[in-house]
Structure 1
Amino acid sequence: MNRMHLLDTAPIPGGGELRLFQCGDIYTIKIAGGGDLMNSRVRESEKALARLPCERIARRPSARVLVGGLGMGFTLAEALSVLQQDAEVVVAELVPAVVEWNHHVLGEKAGHPLRDPRTRVVVDDVAQVLKANRGGFDAILLDVDNGPEGLTLTANDRLYSDLGLVSAIEALKAGGILAVWSAAPAPFFTRRLHQSGLRVEEHIVRARPNGKGERHMIWLAMN
């Protein structure tokens, strides 16, 4: 039986630590003192986070998409697979080591999406990227922490607050789509989206292929 090996650790700006593990050909990122944040075998809902909105905006000329949270690169890779060659995908990742892991040990799992010339990585808080790009994106894909009820940083809560949603809405182009991933349903967040004046869809998606694994939530909110 394969044993789990710690490959690297990385401090999270603002507090906490990420830990990268390998067990055979499976990689896991954990939060120190907590559970799994992501696993290379459990990726279908991260792919759906990109596929659901990007299929709707893919034919727009020079479509521009923001991915909040690089993770293991599966959301980025799926967005690139759907979008046309004139698109740009901006990835905002807070932890520099996560970017390095995706350049090296994790890259092959998602097909090395960081090598795609349409990808631009910004090592920064996604909230700051939103504020700096008013009206800048056709779609915004948020997979930060474990969703609106996060595990890693209390500071992440502001991204899903009323003010955070205002910032996200202002960063969308007309007809843009905000997509948000969550490990579980959060009725309070559905209400918050509606109260922000957005048209909202809820999609329950399985974590693993063939309709298996945990049920995760993806919200699509349209302005």
Structure 2
Amino acid sequence: MIPLEHLDSAQIPGGNELRLCRRGKDFMIQLDRNELMNSRMSGSEEALATMALDRLVGYKSPHLLIGGYGMGFTLRAALAGMDQGKITVAELVPKIIEWARGPMADMTGDCLEDPRVTLKMRDVGDLIYSARDVYDAILLDVDNGPDGLVRDDNDRIYSRGGLQAAKRALTPGGVLAIWSAAPDESFKFRLKRAGFEVDEVAVRARSNGKGPRHVIWFAQEG
């Protein structure tokens, strides 16, 4: 078996340590013993963007907010799926961007330098809470899902107050899309209680339709 190589570590503000590893040509980002991301499993992160764009019918130049960058799968899928518009990417951990432009540059390409992209090294929650009618879609993949694993402060994004803030940050008819590693009926109910109509979609982890099932909630104001 090809050995696992530890390339670098990063401290999450207010959280634990992330590890960037490589096995052969495959990259992994780990938290303790949990594998948060793997370069072989991009399907559901890409679907987060493509399925959200499918729901923005009639938007010729949408403004998307993506939190966070991860391995860039969602950003690259969004760029490929829109001719015009702009994307704000919120990433809290500077090392994530260093890794994208360093060890993973061959995979990432120049997506962060695309003129449609604005990178903000901030907590996506801060951008959501401070915005009013700004974003046509908010795409969240900042943790393993609503049950915070990476950082306790992520819980505020998925709280009732966070969902109300997201609704205010969206333009009329806008889409809140949330990725999760597993279903969560209580969170789905919370979305509905916040006044959203919710479409829950199960998506395979790999782009070839294989791998574990992940969940994406697409929420629009009811």
Counterpart CA distance in 2 for 1:69 and 1:58 is 24
Do 1:55 and 1:83's aligned partners in 2 also have CA atoms closer than 8 Å? no
Look up the SS of the partner of 1:77 in the other structure. helix
Per the alignment, residue 54 of structure 1 pairs with 53
- Separation in 1 of the partners of 2:49 and 2:188? 19
1:150–1:157: 8 Å Cα contact kept in structure 2? yes
1:147-189 Cα offsets, whole Å, 9 max, x none, are: 1012111221111000010111111000100000000000001
Runs of 4+ off more than 3 Å: none
Task: Report how far residue 107 of structure 1 moved.
Answer: 3.0
SS at match of 1:57: coil
Q: Distance in 1 between matches of 2:59 and 2:124?
A: 24
Contact 1:58 1:83 survives alignment (8 Å): no
- Say yes or no: does 1:24 pair with 2:24: yes
The counterpart of 1:104, out of the listed 102, 105, 108, is 102
> Which of 109, 113, 116 does residue 115 from structure 1 map onto?
113
Whole-Å separation in 2 of the counterparts to 1:112 and 1:156 = 28
Q: Which residue of 1 aligns with 2:77?
A: 78
Alignment of 1:133-212 (within 5 A): 133-212=131-210
Distance 1:98 1:215 in 2: 25
Q: Is the Cα–Cα contact under 8 Å of residues 58 and 82 in structure 1 kept in the other structure?
A: no
Q: Tell me if the contact between 1:59 and 1:83 (Cα under 8 Å) persists in the aligned partners.
A: no
Residue 125 of structure 2 corresponds to 127
- Give 1:92's aligned residue: 90
2:95 partner SS: helix
Which residue identity does 2:77 align to in structure 1? E
Q: When the two structures are superposed, what TM-score results if normalisation uses the length of structure 1?
A: 0.95
Q: Give the whole-Å Cα distance in 1 for the aligned partners of 2:75 and 2:58.
A: 18
TM-score normalised by structure 2 residue count: 0.96
* TM-fit CA distance, 1:74: 0.3
Q: Is the 8 A contact 1:139 1:179 kept in 2?
A: yes
Look up the SS of the partner of 2:219 in the other structure. Answer: strand
Gap regions ≥5 residues in structure 1: none
In the other structure, the counterpart of 1:11 is: 11
Amino acid at match of 1:12: I
Tell me which amino acid in the other structure corresponds to 1:72: M
- 2:44 counterpart of 1:45: yes
Q: Which amino acid aligns with 2:217?
A: W
CA distance in 2, matches of 1:176, 1:155: 25
| Root-mean-square deviation (Å) | 1.3
- CA deviation after TM superposition for structure 1 residue 6, in Å: 0.8
For 2:186 and 2:106, locate their aligned partners in 1 and report how far apart those are by CA, in whole Å. 37
Task: Tell me, yes or no, if the aligned pair for 1:29 and 1:39 is still in contact at 8 Å.
Answer: yes
Contact kept? 1:58, 1:84, Cα under 8 Å? no
Kindly tell me the number of residue pairs found equivalent between the two proteins.
221
Aligned-pair CA distance for 1:58: 6.7
Q: One-letter code of the match for 1:70? A: Y
For 2:207 and 2:77, the matched residues in 1 are separated by 15
